[in-house]
A and B are shown apart, each in its own frame.
Chain A
Amino acid sequence: MLIYILRRLGFAFITCIFISVLTFAIIRLPPGDFVDAYIANLAASGSSISIDQAEAMRRAYGLDQSIFVQYWSWMVRVLQGDFGVSMMWRRPVTEVIGDRLWLTMVVSLAALFLTWIIALPIGIYSAVRQYSIGDYIFTMLGFIGLAIPNFLLALILMYFGFRYLGLNVGGLFSAEYVQAPWSLGRAWDLAKHLPLPAAVLAIAGTAQLIRIMRANLLDELRKPYVVTARAKGLTERRAILKYPVRAALNPFASSVAYLFPYLVSGSIIVSLVLGLPTVGPLLLQALVAQDMFLAGAIVMMLGVMTVVGTLISDLLLMWIDPRIRLEGR
């Protein structure tokens, strides 16, 4: 078990290093260096700096050093929480991102939990009552959910929410809480705004997970240990929930790993449509403006989060499946 955990941690670490190299490459991607970009930026707004000043800046940022040294010093600064300065906003990147990272997490996690909560019972129902009317209805709804792009769904829901329910849709906060510091009231306000974006994001993943759960459970239901459970005298409900459902849970654990990046990237467009203060729209703006420090920081943070998600999924798998847990006992 320890070996398993250590191995997973090792993989996670290596992946993080790759992500950082990639991020560094992104930052260095535009022609010229940061100072050139900075000068161009200044020129655009009508001011300028001298060549000496530019050279001093290059030295300060170590841009005259070799690429490896530059990577290393960049890494050291990143590990200290310094992601550089956003050119677009002329403020430290961490400040620009601010709450957005956590709000992205909150929205994605809410979508993930919603996915589970909906997919688990429906998946079980569809497998146990295979080919029932309910199974067909859920299958159909699932395919519709898969087929509709989620930004369209967001628009539709917004329209109906606004038109018929008089909801103040869009955003994650009501007007009075947008700028307010964190408080219980603000958290509650957030909770009230979460369901719509979470639902929009969750739909496609839910449809997918239901299909997987149904297929897995159908497989498991045919296995002899289910008959063993029934032959003990257990009720059908208990026999199914304790044994085959448990065995079919693995995809739920894996879904943390594969749904998470999907939710995060999916949230970019949905966030734009719904006006959510997540990192998605910010990333888009940063890319358009070639604000590479900002873009790099966001990409890196999302990448690391995904790695953490994968790690969590591995630990969940270990918890669910004793064969993994006892590996090498």
Chain B
Amino acid sequence: MLQTPMADHAAPAVALAVRDLAVQFRSEQGVVRALDGVSFDLHAGRTLGIVGESGCGKSVTARSILRLIDHPGIITGGRMVLDPSTPREIDLASLDPESRQMREVRGGRIGLIFQEPMTALSVHYTVGNQLIEAVRQHHSVSVAEARNRATELLRDVGIPRPETRIDAYPFELSGGLRQRVGIAMALAGDPDIVIADEPTTALDVTTQAQILSLLRGLQEAKNISLMLITHDMGVIAEMADEVTVMYLGRVVEVAPVRQLFAAPRHPYTRALLRAVPSILARPRQRLSTIGGAVPHPGSRPFGCSFHPRCAERVGAVCMERIPDPVPPGQAGASCFRTEVPA
């Protein structure tokens, strides 16, 4: 298999290592393997982009890390190690989701930013109420002190007049401001890891750009390890240091961002890149979308899951065997094309 080191210079420490994560949703209709052996490393202070079409398991991955997958989803295997190879290392998969330890991780170590800034905040409480609650959950401070911190957080995320906005209800704010509140909420417990699940998908283009630059600024200022989930290759190009490409609950390619755009190795990545209407596309080039619909994870195609839509099949092997997964901690693709013939 073709492999290259993740980065040329000294690689930063790994903040979160996910290995062989498997998640199933069991119902009367059958078992849906939403995640089927997902592995990746999130490096400290870096941005890991996770990209893939709708339904490939990006949100399930994010929720699994916080142990918040909806019933009837269960983690059936794998590890999610926080601070691996340090004395502090803990495997989140081994914790009880309701344990104090897990709740300290939520918001305290790992903050979560949501896609829908309207529905992710409760309309029944003021911004301040929800934010102060998040601050006090992880810092033993008085209400007054928590309120000061909450105001500062709102200022940090670029909300004008935070002293008055803190008493507003979410429905009194614009979508962009609401998403800023959502970011403030994720940061309230001073987490060192932030997972942003399509943080700009629901916003208009101008606001999108502002929120992305805010995220980048905050990441630098607070040295945050950012896991950025998106289905937009443009966002990946702009934000990510490393990229994990997912397809039907599996990781199909891992690469540093430059390498991914310059020399994508997996046919699925190439197809995604062709579909981007971006500066990368040559003028008047016809936009290509990937042919065929994403199969449901419940009816995963035999062999390489991508084979029904793959334009670059190497032969019968694609229909018969599953290509090896990308080796953990390394760049590579899970595809027979990239496997060196023995």
**Measuring CB to CB, which residues of chain A are less than 8 angstroms from any residue of chain B?**
222-225, 227-236, 242-243, 246-247, 320-323, 326, 329
Across-interface contacts of A242 in B (CB, < 8 A): 125
A233/B107 in contact, CB under 8 A:
yes
A233/B68 in contact, CB under 8 A:
no
A228/B121 in contact, CB under 8 A:
yes
Determine if B138 is an interface residue (Cβ-Cβ < 8 Å): yes
Most chain A CB within 10 A, of B103, B106, B188, is at B103
Query: Which residue of the partner chain B has the closest CB to A249?
Result: B124
Q: How far is the CB of B132 from chain A (nearest CB, A)?
A: 11
A231/B107 in contact, CB under 8 A:
yes
Residue from the list A232, A236, A246 in contact with B134, Cβ < 8 A: A232
Across-interface contacts of A322 in B (CB, < 8 A): 123-124, 169
Residue from the list B98, B112, B119 in contact with A231, Cβ < 8 A: B112
Alpha-carbon separation in the docked complex, A230 to B68 (Å): 8
B124/A321 in contact, CB under 8 A:
yes
Given contacts A229-B122, A323-B169, A329-B172, 11 further A-B contacts (CB under 8 A): A224-B115, A225-B121, A227-B120, A230-B106, A231-B112, A232-B107, A232-B134, A233-B138, A233-B189, A246-B124, A247-B124
A227-B63, A233-B189 known; A247+B122 contact, CB < 8 A = yes
Looking at chain A's contact residues, the main secondary structure is helix
**Measuring CB to CB, which residues of chain B are less than 8 angstroms from any residue of chain A?**
63, 66, 68, 70, 98, 103-108, 111-112, 114-116, 119-125, 130, 133-134, 137-138, 169, 171-172, 182, 185-186, 188-189
Alpha-carbon separation in the docked complex, A84 to B124 (Å): 49
Q: How far is the CB of B213 from chain A (nearest CB, A)?
A: 23
B124/A236 in contact, CB under 8 A:
no
A232-B134, A233-B104 known; A227+B68 contact, CB < 8 A = yes
Q: How far is the CB of A308 from chain B (nearest CB, A)?
A: 26
A233/B108 in contact, CB under 8 A:
yes
Query: Which residue of the partner chain A has the closest CB to B115?
Result: A224
Q: How far is the CB of B286 from chain A (nearest CB, A)?
A: 37
B98/A235 in contact, CB under 8 A:
yes
Across-interface contacts of A243 in B (CB, < 8 A): 122, 124
A232/B133 in contact, CB under 8 A:
yes
A232/B124 in contact, CB under 8 A:
no
Query: Which residue of the partner chain B has the closest CB to A131?
Result: B71
Query: Which residue of the partner chain B has the closest CB to A244?
Result: B122
Residue from the list B98, B123, B185 in contact with A228, Cβ < 8 A: B185
A228/B189 in contact, CB under 8 A:
no
**CB-defined A-B contacts under 8 Å, sample of 29:** A227-B114, A228-B121, A228-B130, A229-B122, A230-B66, A230-B106, A231-B68, A231-B106, A231-B107, A231-B186, A232-B188, A232-B189, A233-B103, A233-B106, A233-B107, A233-B134, A233-B138, A234-B133, A234-B137, A235-B103, A236-B98, A242-B125, A243-B124, A247-B122, A320-B124, A322-B124, A322-B169, A323-B171, A329-B172
